Amino acid sequence: IMFGNPETTSGGMALKFYASVRLDIRRIQAIKQGSDVIGNRTRITVKKNKVAAPFKVAEFDIMYNEGISTSGDLIDLGVDQDIIDKRGSFYNYGDLRLGQGRENAKVFLQENAELAAEIDARIRSNFGLPFNFALLPDAQAADIEEKGKKSSKASVAASADDDDVAGDSLEDAA
């Protein structure tokens, strides 16, 4: 092809028109540990979207042994939101040093689930999203979820008592 994009879609032009969402997935760089490649930094661009805004871009790590790296996303979003401080190659959360280099900071967050959950909660609160229990160890997530259920049951019981009191006062008035 002399001009334009040399990439073609198999199946002719029909797929370009028929598809509701088309994504362009590119490997930006290889993530290495020593000489071994352990994952890829990936950029996904929405080329076409009939159900939402097109041309959005997302970047994340796809690790061969775990899939999309949650800790890598926490570091990226934390730096973007000024929750995690990056000075040179060092990543800091408050006074706590997460590590030198992105991969060491990712390992530190994977080993310290409570800290990762705290950073996740701050990021989610900045965006107005609910808390994600998946980052906590199972026992802690169950404790927090149980506390949430107890408090919601207590509030439901309190509102039921309020309704009974209001009902009693209406009966007294009649």
Distance, CA of 131 to CA of 120 (rounded, Å): 8
**Residue 106 burial (CB < 10 Å; 0-12/13-18/19+)?**
buried
How far out from the chain centre does Cα 4 lie? Answer: 36
Residue 6's alpha-carbon distances to 9, 13, 47, 126, in angstroms, are: 10, 14, 16, 41
Cβ proximity of 43 and 62 under 8 Å: no
Query: How far is residue 105's CA from residue 90's CA, in Å, rounded to a whole number?
Result: 8
Scored b (16 or more CB within 10 A) or e, 27-61 reads eeeebeeeeeeebbbbeeebeeeeeeeeeeeeebb
Residues in the chain: 174
Q: What are 46's two structure tokens?
A: 């929405």
Which pLDDT belongs to residue 144?
53
Residue type, 24: D
Give the model's pLDDT for residue 151. Answer: 43
Measure the CA angle with vertex 93, ends 91 and 97; round to 5°.
Answer: 55
Q: Which fold has domain 70-135?
A: Rec A Protein; domain 2 (3.30.250)
Q: Provide the pLDDT for residue 80.
A: 94
Whole-number pLDDT of residue 155: 45
CB 124 within 8 A of CB 131: yes
Per-position pLDDT tens, the chain of length 174: 578 888 887 888 888 888 899 999 999 999 998 899 999 999 999 999 999 999 999 999 999 988 999 999 999 999 999 999 999 999 999 999 999 999 999 999 999 998 999 999 999 999 888 877 665 665 565 555 555 455 444 444 544 455 554 455 444 444
User: For the chain, what are the domain ranges?
Assistant: 17-68, 70-135
